Structure 1
Amino acid sequence: MSFTDSYLKELLRRYQANFDITENFKLGDKLYPAYAWFYSLSEKYVLKKEAKLWAIRAYEHVLFIEEDQLTQEKLLDLMDVIKDYAEPELVRKNNKYPEKDHMCSYITFVVLTSRDTDAQTAKAIKKFNYDKGYLFNFRGHCEARLAAVSMESGQVITNRSGKDMKSLLEDAHIKTVDIVKTQTEAATDDSYEFVS
């Protein structure tokens, strides 16, 4: 198992507590190693359920991507994925607007890269922005979050919306390094034969 596979396995283990996870998820014409989906409903009533004051629905759609290196061209491709597939299919379900009581949907990309991101692309990641409102925000809005994680060094770069993911992604990298190191040491110990 490669380091990237081990890292993704560790991330999915952490996400599975609150998210529904699908491995080998197809969106548009691209196959993603994993997709995680979260839904939350909050409601306020007066005395009984029939007298509902308000309800809000919040969603998060997380697409995990493996790349050798994230480039500015690939960032443009991610924006196309948002506009052409993720927002219309995952958020609006191919309707004109999201359902009633929709408050917020996050489309999150976690890009696992083999190598560190160069300075210009890191700057472009930090500026990466997508925010779309529906019916003057009466039907909520959709926002994109982006994080690039280098398997080489553990470097995590996020856009402004995704900065709260940084500690989780860094911690998962540290844990994966420990797991892989332990497995390597255990395999090395088992492979020695004693000669008398």
Structure 2
Amino acid sequence: MGTTSDAYLQELLNRYRANFDITENYALGERIYPAYARFFSLGEKYVLKKEAKLWAIRAYEHVLFIKTDSIDENLIADLRKTMEEQMEPRLVRQGEKYPEKDHMCSYLSFVIISDTTPGPEVIKAIRRFNFDKGYLFNFRGHSEGKLGCVFLDSRSCATNSGAKELKPLFTNIFKSLNEDKEEKVS
């Protein structure tokens, strides 16, 4: 028997917990996601004392996790729509016209755990997935979309170019879960 989506998700969330705040069963719009992870980083530069701030930057990452039987092009289109109509206005701009002052970048990410591997056209659509939005000619930063997909049946993954750094994490979890299973057997 292969890895289950529940086991994979729990191991993935354990890895994210080191740097992200995790909320399980997160509601956004009409949908409830198995988990939401939020990361925030603040960088500031001062001259002599805190009152003389030269600059500050704020960076965020918002990750929504999805478990599904399969991935098709309709799901990918729905994710892009969710990113544009729900994630970006609510999580980045928080209902305002622009993000907060000193906002540099917000990464909006989906991690999909699929029981089955999709066909080549869907893999191509995953790799081509793109979302990028600037604010005030990028003076208030920008938002960028990431899409990472894990396929449990083939123990493989696919990402868009913005999420390629997730591939080692995804494959490492497969190895980790396999080692845990071997320890229980012996």
TM-score class, shorter-chain normalisation, is over 0.9
Q: Which residue of 2 aligns with 1:36?
A: 37
Please tell me whether residue 68 in structure 1 is matched to residue 104 in structure 2. Answer: no
RMSD: 1.1
Q: Work out the CA distance in 2 between the residues paired with 1:47 and 1:78.
A: 46
Tell me the distance in 2 between the aligned counterparts of 1:53 and 1:9. 41
For the residues of structure 2 that align with 1:181 and 1:7, how far apart are their CA atoms?
A: 16
- The yes-or-no answer on 1:83 pairing with 2:81 is no
Q: What is the CA-CA distance between 1:170 and the residue it aligns to?
A: 1.0
Give 1:181 deviation, angstroms. 4.1
Distance 1:182 1:93 in 2: 46
Q: Alignment partner of 1:65: what SS? A: strand
**Which digits, 9 at most, give the CA deviation of each residue in 1:112-149, with x for residues without a partner?**
00001210000011000000000000000000000110
Q: Within 5 Å, give how 1:118-133 maps onto structure 2.
A: 118-133=119-134
Q: Percent identity between the aligned chains? A: 52
TM-score (norm 1): 0.91
Alignment of 1:140 onto 2:141: yes
Kept after mapping to 2: 8 A contact 1:3/1:180:
no
Which runs of structure 2 are paired with 1:1-196 in the superposition (5 Å)? 3-183=4-184, 185=185
Give unmatched runs, 5+ long, in structure 1.
187-196
Local SS of the residue matching 1:112? strand
Distance 2:180 2:35 in 1: 21
CA contact (8 A) 1:63 1:110 kept: yes
C-alpha contact (below 8 Å) 1:110/1:146 kept by paired residues: yes
Q: Paired residue for 1:189?
A: none
Structure 1 residues 171-180 or 106-115, which shifts more? 171-180
Cα deviation digits, residues 65-87 of structure 1 (max 9, x gap): 01111100100000110011100
Supply the distance in 2 between the matched residues of 1:115 and 1:106 (Cα, whole angstroms): 26
Separation (CA, whole Å) in 1 of partners of 2:117 and 2:139:
41
Structure 1 distance, partners of 2:135, 2:30, is 26
Number of aligned residue pairs = 184
Offset of residue 182 of structure 1:
3.5
Counterpart-to-counterpart distance in 1, 2:8 and 2:114? 11
* CA-CA distance at 1:177 after TM superposition: 2.4
Q: Which has the larger radius of gyration?
A: 1
* Residues 28 and 85, structure 1, Cα contact 8 Å, conserved in 2: yes
Letter in 2 for 1:129: N
